[in-house]
Amino acid sequence: MKSALSNNTQDKVYKSLGCDSQDSSEPSLFNNGTAGSQQYNLPVTAIQTPPSSPPYRTAPWAFPPHGIAVYYGPGRAPRLSHYFLPRLLLQGKRVLFLDGANSANPRLLARLARERRVPFERFNRQIKIARAFTCFQLTELIARVPRFLESFPADVLVVTALPDLYFDEDIRDWDARVAFEQALGNFGPLARQPLTLAIFSAATTFAPPAARRNFFARTCREAGEVWRFNLGDDGRPNLICERGPANARLGPAATLAR
């Protein structure tokens, strides 16, 4: 699975967005490119062409009350899922986190809890994390969600690295497509439940084999909302709406830490 993240302007733009200011050893969330690499733009034909001045999500960042939403950006963008969690957990909601990007970071969650003067144990009781290291494992975890919900009735399902994991070049195109189709097929019944499904992806960072280049567009087609992480001219991180409900109330985005 080859990363094709630009190493110059893009990494500099996102550095302030992706760093944990409390820990100098925390890497930039968006800096996983290599010198001399090229930006690869996936054909996202399923997404509406954004208007010339795209609307931003109202502050603070929040998931829709139900349905499927896709959030994407370059590099380690799935790590930004953490910044949606404190608000949910403070509202008493439960989160089932299927982590295919190896992005779940208890240290970062602990800092977010500490900043809000909430015991980390409280956060820990309201979030369950299951990790997947291959696309087959992620497909299996998604298939098991109904059983997970029986013992842990979550309000929000977060999935990271979809379809990123399915770009693995060590896996044959046919096998990757079968696993991907099964994962998407399992989203349908889940979307009809009183459940928010939030997918975090860095798919546009990778150069997948030709047979898999439509995986990201297919993922977005399943979503009612599609949002892109971006940094505004004022240096503040924004969520740019590329597809959203017609009656969505949109306004200036929040800063990342809020």
CA distance 78 to 72: 7
Q: What single-letter DSSP state applies at residue 213?
A: T
Cβ pair 34, 7 in contact under 8 A: yes
Instruction: Please report the pLDDT score of residue 27 as a whole number.
Output: 38
Phi first, then psi, for residue 177 (nearest 5°) are: -65, -40
Place of tokens 């409280």: 122
pLDDT per residue as tens digits for the range 125-138:
899 999 999 999 99
Q: Which residues contact 94 (CB under 8 A, 6 or more apart)?
A: 126, 127, 128, 152, 153, 154, 155, 156
Q: Is 70 exceeded by the pLDDT of residue 30?
A: no
Q: What is the overall mean pLDDT for the chain?
A: 76
pLDDT per residue as tens digits for the range 192-221:
899 999 999 999 999 999 999 999 999 999
Where does 41-243 sit in CATH, by number?
Answer: 3.40.50.300
CA distance 7 to 19: 16
pLDDT per residue as tens digits for the range 220-244:
999 999 999 887 777 676 888 888 7
Helix (H, G, I), strand (E, B) or coil at 72: strand
Model confidence at 254, pLDDT cuts 50, 70, 90, reads very low
Cis link prior to 163 (omega < 30° from 0)? yes
Least confident of 62-76, 114-128, 161-175: 114-128
Q: Looking at per-residue confidence, does 56 or 102 come out higher?
A: 102
Least confident of 26-35, 71-80, 184-193: 26-35
Instruction: Please report the pLDDT score of residue 55 as a whole number.
Output: 56
Q: Is 90 exceeded by the pLDDT of residue 14?
A: no
Give this prediction's pTM. Answer: 0.77
